[in-house]
Amino acid sequence: MTAPRPKEITLDRTRRMLVVGWQDGHLSEYGWRGLRASCPCAECAGGDENMGRPPDPREFFKTDSPGPRNTLNEVGLVGNYALTLTWGDGHHAGIFNWAFLRGLCPCPQCFPSQSSV
């Protein structure tokens, strides 16, 4: 089965959220702090030896800490399979493919244990 694809992508600067409406009808709202903490690039993941380690979903439920590092300035498409995010500190190396991004969804349906975080 292929990963769902986004139907609509919105950068909500007021709420500091990336909002993704998926083709299957699901809605994901990602806080910027959680997205930055989940960046899959080698620099953010801690080097090659840590690549492939799953991100900590609890980052999406921590208090946002404004500042350049956690400020999402721009969202761009990478072909037809992913997003690249440009942060206030200039970082833009992470490629969030659709399956990875959907797997990060912090909603109660996708991450039911969030109430215990």
For 42, the token pair is 């080698």
Is 12 or 2 the better-scoring residue by pLDDT? 12
Instruction: Please say if the pLDDT value at position 6 is more than 50.
Output: yes
| High-pLDDT (> 70) share of the chain, % | 88
Report pLDDT digits (tens) over 42-92.
888 776 555 556 677 777 777 777 888 999 999 999 999 999 999 999 999
Q: Is residue 19 part of a domain?
A: yes
**Residue range of the domain that includes 67:** 6-116
Q: How far apart are CA 14 and CA 11, in angstroms?
A: 9
Q: Is residue 1 part of a domain?
A: no
- The sheet with strand 27-31 has its strands ordered as 6-12, 17-22, 27-31
What is the domain-level CATH number for residue 109?
Answer: 3.30.2020.30
Q: How far apart are CA 16 and CA 27, in angstroms?
A: 16
- The sheet with strand 95-97 has its strands ordered as 72-78, 82-87, 95-97
Is 51 or 101 the better-scoring residue by pLDDT? 101
In eight-state DSSP terms, residue 6 is E
What is the domain count for the chain? 1
**Alpha-carbon 83 to chain mean position:** 9
33: helix, coil or strand? helix
Task: Please tell me the pTM assigned to this model.
Answer: 0.85
Question: Beta-carbon neighbour count of residue 69 at 10 Å?
Answer: 14
